Amino acid sequence: MKELFTETSQYRNWFYSKEKLQEIREKNHVSAVERVKQRVLEEAELQKLVSAKSTPTRGEQPERVNSPRLNPSEIEYLKMEDELALCNYYQTQIPLVDSKFPEEIQKNKFTDKVKASAITYVKRFYLRNTMMDYHPRDIMITCLFLAAKTEFSFVPIEDFIKFLTTKATKEVFFDLELIVARSLRYEFTVHHPYLSAYGLFLDMQTALKDAKKIQAIYEKSKEYIHKSLFTDTMFLYQPSQIALATVRIAAKELNFDLNSYFRIKFNSEPKGKLDNLYKILDEIEKIIKEYEPTPLNKAKEIDARLHKCKNPEKNPNSAISRKRKLEREGLEDADHHKKKRIEDEYQKSLEEVFK
Amino acid sequence: MSSFQAPEEEELQIENKYLKEKKIGEGTYAKVYRGTERATGRTVAIKKIKLVQTEIGSQGIELSAVREVKCLRELRHPNVIELIDIYSHKSNLKLVLEYLDSDLEMIIKDKSILFQAPDIKSWMLMTLRGLDHCHRNWILHRDMKPNNLLVGKDGQLKIADFGLARDYGDPHAKNMSPQVVTRWYRAPELFFMPSQYGYAVDIWSVGCIFAELLLRTPYLAGESDLAQLELIFKALGTPTEEDWPGFSELARDMKFQKYSRTPLQVHFKAAGSDAIDLLEKMLTYDPNKRINTREALLHSYFRKLPRPTPPDQLPKQQKIQENAIQQNSKPSIQNRGELTEHRNKRKAQEISNKSEKKIHRS
Ligand SMILES: Nc1ncnc2c1ncn2[C@@H]1O[C@H](COP(=O)(O)OP(=O)(O)OP(=O)(O)O)[C@@H](O)[C@H]1O
Ligand SMILES: [Mg+2]
């Protein structure tokens, strides 16, 4: 299993050192703020132009996005920590969102694996995107919709709209689905610790006697796996290592000594390797134990600030979006003309052959 | 590659790497175009996923596409088709695949091609190697058949068409769909155990392909599900409780004529004893006793002489080669057309098999 992990897309593209992960987030954040700032300025210029012209007829007036009273240079953009905290909040909503669906869907469709993949998708998405472009609430729903598909538990988009009372239409979610898929580089396979934990459970059953206790440890370890999903462990450690760590935490909590089992299991491993493994398990344990969910009031406070610094380009009613749309249509027109010209020339060349 | 590039930019770059040329085929959920990688001149196949309207309206990215992309993104093996790139353009998903101009079905059907035991061994070896890689990565193909085994100019065989594939290995997976695998290649358990099956279904299909290579005609070509079972039982004997523990329980609502088993050698006269033994192990009724890819690859059939033909020396289709040579002059399109027509006819025959292929299977 270990060698196989290095063959996965998870290992190739979504597995980092702590430093690298931090660097990715910082660079993503810096470039996001820079870009959004530019768009906000551009929007302000466009808005000025519009209002400078004679009063336009109603309906043509672009919606004032963000707060009109705010001077663009005074806008406070989200900090990296803000985005992380908000991401933390919304990912914890995924298991709660699940509870809004009828029991039958909850039980048969939104399995642990679906929810774990959805959470992973949200986290991976925001390694490459910013909330100032895409609001986490919509992204969270999109990720759950997509994860249900990728984990073969398909739930129609209409159900999401019905049970989650969201304002977004299904077309919005379909657009977002492609945006999410692209951000994930279409790498939908995620390896979670659940399977490894189950393997450990079976292995422990054969190696140790106390079947009841082992069952209890397994159940408890799953709770810690749920919790680990909210942390960065998925980017830093292999699923099998996380599984081992959660089983160890669970055993400790239930006063069960796993040392003898570990000795049987790893007795052929060289000491250096084993020491390293224990170090890793300690690190994982620390991250999981130190995890704190973002409290609702803090999430609300960040969300309020987010509403003041959203990228106007992503609002279809902003002046900048209207301008982009016109530009795009112009391009498509030109493209169409170009194609037509090439086709005409081709036809002409054909005719010439027969002259 | 820098990881800090915005996703849209990255994707635009990918899109610009390729030049889309003419349409070369169409499947249930995709149109396939020939294309070129600008930088290298390499020919590629660009599979444009259609936006399928299902009975409940559009549901975003097509489910088969999700399946195919999910699997192919993980698999890298000389005997599995390479998914080179993916991009979306105006809400259409495009898969850039390596270009392969032939498949095993065309080769089997083309009676102007002669092939011999070492050739068959070579195709079987490549098929099993590719499948072993899938299974090692917890992926079930679920649609193994000659048409989905593509063959390149260099003779390499590659498993393609992962539209039905799914990952397996979930110990609690129960809701597997029974409507998989084109009927002729469908394992017997799929007719009885609607929602629980495993890697063994792919092995059965490979067994059927093996038989088809030996016979040069589909081995068990049933016209309905029931007829398919009859055919299987006629060919291999109606399973007894000993062949397949639990069978009588599974089949309790159905009555089958009791056929006795004729040794495979009778039907496959030209095949050597190792080949027969491997075939028998692949077409074993009890899925738990059926050989797996690892064991099959270690089977004496592959170790004993004759050695498998090296891929580049395998028999090829004449037509395709002519076609490749003519590619620059215009009339060749006609040839392609003929070829596609031939396939389409064959497809029509199979359509009834496939009519169950619906969108909302999980
Ligand atoms: N990699 C490829 N190289 C060259 N041609 C290809 C390639 N992939 C597909 N094609 C061509 O495009 C056609 C359609 O392919 P696709 O895989 O979408 O559907 P299919 O396998 O024919 O049918 P179905 O969707 O019912 O399984 C094929 O029949 C083949 O002619
Ligand atoms: Mg096919």
CB atoms within 10 A of CB B248: 11
**Atom 28 of ligand 1, residue of closest alpha carbon:** B25
| Same domain as A157, residue A278 | no
Query: Any idea what the CATH number is for the domain that residue A208 is in?
Result: 1.10.472.10
A347 touches chain B (CB under 8 A): no
Atom of ligand 1 nearest to the CA of B357: 26
Does residue A168 surpass a pLDDT of 90? no
* ipTM metric: 0.83
Query: Is A329 within a domain?
Result: no
| Same domain as A142, residue A283 | no
Within 8 A of A152 by CB-CB distance, chain B residues are 67, 166, 175, 362
Q: What are phi and psi of B361, to 5 degrees?
A: -80, 140
Could you tell me where the DSSP H helices lie in A53-169? Answer: 80-98, 103-108, 112-128, 136-150, 157-164
Does residue B333 surpass a pLDDT of 70? no
**Can you tell me the distance from the alpha carbon of B46 to that of B64, in angstroms, rounded to the nearest whole number?**
16
Ligand nearest to the CA of B25: 1
| Same domain as A33, residue A77 | yes
Interface test with A, best of B14, B15, B56, B74 (most A CBs within 10 A): B74
pLDDT tens digit sequence for A48-82: 787 766 555 555 555 555 555 567 777 889 999 99
Share of chain B above pLDDT 70, in %: 81
What's the pLDDT score for residue B189? 92
What's the pLDDT score for residue A258? 86
Atom of ligand 1 nearest to the CA of B101: 4
| Same domain as A278, residue A166 | no
Instruction: List the beta bridge partners of residue B95.
Output: B47, B86
Question: Residues with Cβ within 5 Å of ion ligand 2?
Answer: B 147-148, 161
| Same domain as A136, residue A125 | yes
What's the pLDDT score for residue B233? 95
Query: Is A70 within a domain?
Result: yes
Query: Is A177 within a domain?
Result: yes
Q: Is B30 in the pocket of ligand 1 (CB under 6 A)?
A: yes
Asked if A157 and B137 come within 8 Å (Cβ–Cβ), the reply is no
Ligand nearest to the CA of B147: 2
What's the pLDDT score for residue B29? 81
Least-confidence region, from A195-199, B53-57, B101-105, B266-270: B53-57
A186 touches chain B (CB under 8 A): yes
B331 touches chain A (CB under 8 A): no
| Same domain as A161, residue A110 | yes
With beta carbons less than 8 A apart as the criterion, state whether B29 and B48 touch: no
Which of the four pLDDT bands, split at 50, 70 and 90, describes residue A271? confident
**Can you tell me the distance from the alpha carbon of B109 to that of B15, in angstroms, rounded to the nearest whole number?**
37
Helix and strand totals (H; E) in chain B: 14, 10
Ligand nearest to the CA of B30: 1
Which of the four pLDDT bands, split at 50, 70 and 90, describes residue B13? very high
Does residue B24 surpass a pLDDT of 60? yes
pLDDT tens digit sequence for B71-89: 999 999 999 999 999 998 8
- Which of B165, B95, B170, B102 has its CA nearest to residue B130? B165
What's the pLDDT score for residue B340? 45
Nearest to B60 among A7, A129, A157 (CB): A157
A174 touches chain B (CB under 8 A): yes
What's the pLDDT score for residue A3? 55
Query: Is A322 within a domain?
Result: no
Q: Is B43 in the pocket of ligand 1 (CB under 6 A)?
A: no
| Same domain as A186, residue A249 | no
B167 touches chain A (CB under 8 A): yes
Q: What is chain B's length? A: 362
| Same domain as A216, residue A177 | no
- What's the B13 CA to ligand 1 centre distance in angstroms? 26
Does residue A176 surpass a pLDDT of 90? yes
pTM of model > 0.90? no
Does residue A311 surpass a pLDDT of 60? yes
- How many structural domains is chain A composed of? 2
Asked if A24 and B4 come within 8 Å (Cβ–Cβ), the reply is yes
| Same domain as A186, residue A202 | no
Least-confidence region, from A88-97, A211-220, B322-331: B322-331
Binding-site entries of B for ATP:
24-32, 47-48
Mean predicted lDDT score pLDDT of chain A: 87
Atom of ligand 1 nearest to the CA of B147: 21
Does residue B295 surpass a pLDDT of 90? yes
A28 touches chain B (CB under 8 A): yes
Radius of gyration of chain B (CA): 21
Q: Is B71 in the pocket of ligand 1 (CB under 6 A)?
A: no
Does residue B347 surpass a pLDDT of 90? no
Could you tell me where the DSSP H helices lie in chain A? Answer: 2-5, 9-13, 18-52, 80-98, 103-108, 112-128, 136-150, 157-164, 170-183, 193-207, 211-228, 233-236, 239-253, 259-266, 271-290, 296-306, 319-354
A205 touches chain B (CB under 8 A): no
What's the pLDDT score for residue B331? 33
Ligand nearest to the CA of B320: 1
**Can you tell me the distance from the alpha carbon of B170 to that of A113, in angstroms, rounded to the nearest whole number?**
9
| Same domain as A145, residue A88 | yes
- CA angle in degrees (0–180, nearest 5) for A241-A243-A249: 105
Range of the domain at A267: 193-290
What's the pLDDT score for residue B355? 39
B294: closest CA of chain A, how far (Å): 16
CB atoms within 10 A of CB A64: 15
Least-confidence region, from A34-48, A156-170, B253-267, B314-328: B314-328
**Can you tell me the distance from the alpha carbon of A164 to that of A98, in angstroms, rounded to the nearest whole number?**
9
Query: Does domain B102-361 bear CATH number 1.10.510.10?
Result: yes
Within 8 A of A7 by CB-CB distance, chain B residues are 74, 76, 137
Beta strands, E only, B27-75:
30-37, 43-49
**Atom 22 of ligand 1, residue of closest alpha carbon:** B27
**CA-to-CA separations, A56 to A53, A315, B89, in angstroms, rounded:** 7, 20, 35
- Average pLDDT on B320-343 reads 40
What residues of B act catalytically? 143
B170 touches chain A (CB under 8 A): yes
Half-sphere exposure (Cβ direction) of B137: Cα atoms closer than 13 Å: 26
Asked if B58 and A108 come within 8 Å (Cβ–Cβ), the reply is no
Does residue B165 surpass a pLDDT of 90? no
What's the pLDDT score for residue B325? 41
- What's the B360 CA to ligand 2 centre distance in angstroms? 19
Q: Identify the CATH homologous superfamily for domain B15-98.
A: Phosphorylase Kinase; domain 1 (3.30.200.20)
Which of the four pLDDT bands, split at 50, 70 and 90, describes residue B358? very low
With beta carbons less than 8 A apart as the criterion, state whether B241 and B286 touch: no
Does residue B304 surpass a pLDDT of 90? yes
- What's the B27 CA to ligand 1 centre distance in angstroms? 6
Q: What is the DSSP letter of B259?
A: P
| Same domain as A164, residue A31 | yes
Mean predicted lDDT score pLDDT of chain B: 84
Within 8 A of A27 by CB-CB distance, chain B residues are 4
Handedness of CA B277, B280, B286, B291 (dihedral sign): positive
Which of the four pLDDT bands, split at 50, 70 and 90, describes residue B134? very high
Q: What is chain A's length? A: 355
Asked if B76 and A7 come within 8 Å (Cβ–Cβ), the reply is yes
Which is higher by pLDDT, A97 or B228?
A: B228
Query: Is A300 within a domain?
Result: no
Which is higher by pLDDT, B331 or B248?
A: B248
Which of the four pLDDT bands, split at 50, 70 and 90, describes residue A333? confident
**Can you tell me the distance from the alpha carbon of A315 to that of A40, in angstroms, rounded to the nearest whole number?**
12
> Count of CB contacts below 8 A, A vs B?
88
Query: Is A252 within a domain?
Result: yes
What's the pLDDT score for residue B54? 65
For the ranges A301-305, B335-339, B346-350, the one whose mean pLDDT is highest: A301-305
Q: CB under 8 Å to A199, separation ≥6 — which residues?
A: A1, A243
Share of chain A above pLDDT 70, in %: 90
**Which of B31, B33, B161 is the best mutation target for the ligand 1 pocket, counting ligand atoms within 8 Å of the beta carbon and taking the most?**
B161
**Atom 23 of ligand 1, residue of closest alpha carbon:** B27
Chain B nearest-CA residue for A8: B74
Which of the four pLDDT bands, split at 50, 70 and 90, describes residue B354? very low
**Atom 30 of ligand 1, residue of closest alpha carbon:** B25
- What's the B82 CA to ligand 1 centre distance in angstroms? 14
- What's the B314 CA to ligand 2 centre distance in angstroms? 22
What's the pLDDT score for residue B341? 43
**CA-to-CA separations, B148 to B35, B95, B161, B296, B348, in angstroms, rounded:** 20, 17, 6, 20, 16
**Can you tell me the distance from the alpha carbon of B41 to that of B53, in angstroms, rounded to the nearest whole number?**
36
pLDDT tens digit sequence for A105-164: 888 899 999 999 999 999 999 999 999 999 999 999 999 999 999 998 899 999 999 898
| Same domain as A230, residue A95 | no
A153: closest CA of chain B, how far (Å): 6
What's the pLDDT score for residue A98? 84
Could you tell me where the DSSP H helices lie in A153-210? Answer: 157-164, 170-183, 193-207
Query: Is A139 within a domain?
Result: yes
**Atom 27 of ligand 1, residue of closest alpha carbon:** B27
Asked if B362 and A195 come within 8 Å (Cβ–Cβ), the reply is no
- Average pLDDT on A17-34 reads 94
